[in-house]
Structure 1
């Protein structure tokens, strides 16, 4: 009887061990094989820290462990891999090295593909364009090369494409009519060239193409829902009046290009938080619009252009305003001085213009959080001195008299 009892107690352990070892993995064989190929093409970058996190330490194909529950960065649904995050993204990890295996395309139910910062090289597998369930592709801060596979831009469910901070080259493939899912496009800090596509995705909300070698002009029609647009530090030129229809725009960065012509009045409205247009060839007057109550932290940089005429009240409510290195003249409106005194405007750079007066008492002490620079204008001595001026403003207090006289003549004659 005692032996029978001992056997009955032992039997559940035997059965548990049998079914555990005999039960198949929850992942499909094809996805299991694809993960093995992916691992064979990548490796953890060695770290001098013994405690550094190694991403592939959990990817053990010989232990019988189920990748869906045991492999870091692998998420499954119904036995298929749906999310693949390669690398940890942690500060103590140097990321991954190697190349991206074409076997990624065998994970046919994949909805998200993420590659964290590392030194992965080589091309983006062209077969990614076959993964019709992909919603997110984020392959940032690596050393990927070659052109962007055109098929990626035809994925019907793609919402976010972030390939920034790589070494990608070639042209940006054009948008395909009827594919309206793409909302976020980030291709900044690569080596892309050629002209911008004539059309973009209708529902695009965020587009960052900065720090490339893109040429030509802005498309005549931009996505009407666009809220974030950056094409800074490229080789773009021409007018920017095509941006007039972007009523939802909150962040605009066209800096360090060759854009010319006037700044559209419609860009100056309460909803915009950042307008960075510095170092272009923009000309004309500062737009005539009411002094909006811009949001806290708003930054407008219109410096290093060819803006002329007197400064209008349009920008009184901006928190950080750079208008230096233009051709502005005349008196600064009273509202700017009041905004500076109250601390609403924390930075106002007007140096290197032809301004003749700023309505503030000589020797007035600014709030500690405020910086105003008025040097190298047509004032004998700036009322606030040069203490708040940056080093790039130089050490000259005022413009030479002959330059100011020439400016007055030019402005008066141009009004005839």
Structure 2
């Protein structure tokens, strides 16, 4: 009988070794793949990296600023971990990358006095961006139209810079449905008109104040809660935006500032019927006609506005008693006449209305105060067609009211006869 071959155990051993080597190789490949995925998940998307590099080339620190000192593109930690003002988040792509979701540059960060330069179009390449804030710098040039193409952008704040030219229309149109907060205030040279299609926008907060916008106000989007167009060159009547049908279409508008423009015509009564309106600023326009403020329902108190400022216009007629609920009421420097309503006076004496400026009108009477005017109340009735009831009715006057307690009698006689004073 022949002895068993001695090669069988050796072959079995070789097979075991090969199997172990194969398993080790698979494990190593799996580890390398996992490490690669981890590296990719922690690295910035190359498009975003290129956009940040372009931003760095386009903007620079003002003298004394070191905001960009952390923007070292050769650092191993990467922009998301070390760049000031940059916040990243993983995307949903495969393989996953980090995308820039928040970009806050310049003033207010790292003790920076601000940045200068121009905004590059590549800002529109940051596809994951949700918040972009570059306020309080000295950035000039146009607003890049590419910003309107960012699909997830919620807040855009470019206020208080030196931007100029027209506002890209798509930013004010429904083509930017994710954009809810747009602040371009205080740039000085932004121009153009608000397009009629603005009514279909989804904005909640719009501040375009202190620019050179022209034209009128179109119908407003029903989503608006805050609107400031003050200190522009806008004109025309307010009826188009605030007709009688506007009140139910603007259920959440709480802050409206149209001051320091050239709006003309009457103040639409529908403005005072907006259900959420708390602060209304219409001062320093060319508004005229009588104030028509709808009275509250029977037995209901007047709406509790925080501030109503109608000063420095050409409004006539009497002070509406329905404004007695305002915490601060400014009707000074108009052509109002008649007696101040008792409801307004009672609100002043009770301290509910903490400011009532009615100087430089043609008012003829103010109810005698049953109590001293509270120290917390600023009351000014000077330069009207009546003797001041008490010194306290002029004690709260600003310096601009002037030293004269009442108008000259001839001005009051001319106004009573229907002439101009």
TM over 0.5: yes
The one of 84, 88, 96 equivalent to 1:75 is 88
- Give the 5 Å matches for 1:43-54: none
8 Å Cα contact 1:375/1:382 also seen in 2: no
Larger helix fraction of residues: 2
* Separation (CA, whole Å) in 2 of partners of 1:188 and 1:74: 25
Report the Cα distance in structure 1 between the residues aligned to 2:167 and 2:349, rounded to whole angstroms: 48
Residues 306-325 of structure 1 aligned to structure 2 (within 5 Å): 306-325=314-333
Aligned counterparts of 2:277 and 2:97: Cα–Cα separation in 1? 46
Counterpart secondary structure, 2:123: helix
Question: Which residue is equivalent to 2:412?
Answer: 404
Cα distance, 1:197 vs structure 2: 2.2
Distance change (3 Å), C-alpha of 1:358 and 1:28: closer
Q: 1:27 aligns with which of 43, 47, 50?
A: 43
Residues 274 and 146 of structure 1, relative CA distance in 2, 3 Å threshold: same
Once the two structures are TM-superposed, the CA of residue 61 in structure 1 deviates from its matched residue by 5.2
Gaps of 5+ in 1: 1-18, 49-53, 96-117, 412-416
Counterpart among 125, 132, 153 of residue 148 in structure 2: 153
Cross-structure match for 2:262:
258
Secondary structure (helix, strand or coil) at the match of 1:152 reads helix
Encode CA deviations 1:146-180: one digit per residue, 9 max, x unaligned.
Answer: 11122222333332221111111111222355542
By how many angstroms is 1:306 displaced? 0.8
1:229-308 maps to which residues of 2 (within 5 A)?
229-244=227-242, 245=246, 246-269=250-273, 271-291=276-296, 292-295=301-304, 298-308=306-316
In structure 2, distance between residues paired with 1:280 and 1:33 = 47
Q: Assess if the C-alpha contact under 8 Å between 2:104 and 2:134 holds in 1.
A: no
1:13-412 mapped onto 2 (5 Å cutoff)? 26-28=42-44, 30=46, 55=67, 59=71, 64-72=76-84, 73-77=86-90, 78-87=96-105, 90=108, 93-95=110-112, 118-175=113-170, 176-190=173-187, 191-200=189-198, 201-219=200-218, 221-244=219-242, 245=246, 246-269=250-273, 271-291=276-296, 292-295=301-304, 298-361=306-369, 364-383=371-390, 384-410=392-418
**In the alignment, is the contact (CA less than 8 A) between 2:335 and 2:362 conserved in 1?**
yes
Counterpart-to-counterpart distance in 2, 1:28 and 1:183: 26
Name the SS of the counterpart of 1:268 in structure 2.
helix
Is the CA contact 2:282–2:309 (under 8 Å) kept in the aligned structure 1? yes
Cα pair distance change 1:260/1:139, threshold 3 Å: same
TM-score normalised to the size of structure 1?
Answer: 0.78
Displacement of 1:60 = 5.1
- How big is the shift at 1:267? 1.3
Does structure 2 retain, via aligned residues, the 8 Å contact 1:250–1:274?
A: yes
Deviation at 1:354, TM superposition (A): 0.7
CA separation of 1:155 and 1:376: change in aligned 2, threshold 3 A: same
1:314 deviation in Å?
1.7
Aligned residues: 362
SS at match of 1:235: coil
Q: Secondary structure in 2 aligned to 1:283?
A: strand
2: CA distance, partners of 1:344 / 1:273: 15
Deviation at 1:216, TM superposition (A): 1.6
- Cα RMSD after superposing both structures: 3.0
With over 3 angstroms needed to count, the CA separation of the structure-2 counterparts of 1:355 and 1:155, relative to structure 1, is: same
Could you say if the C-alpha distance between residues 206 and 82 of structure 1 is closer, same or farther in structure 2, counting changes exceeding 3 Å?
Answer: same
CA distance in 2, matches of 1:375, 1:328: 13
Query: Which digits, 9 at most, give the CA deviation of each residue in 1:272-301, with x for residues without a partner?
Result: 1110100111111122312554447x0111
Structure 2, unaligned runs of 5 or more: 1-31, 91-95
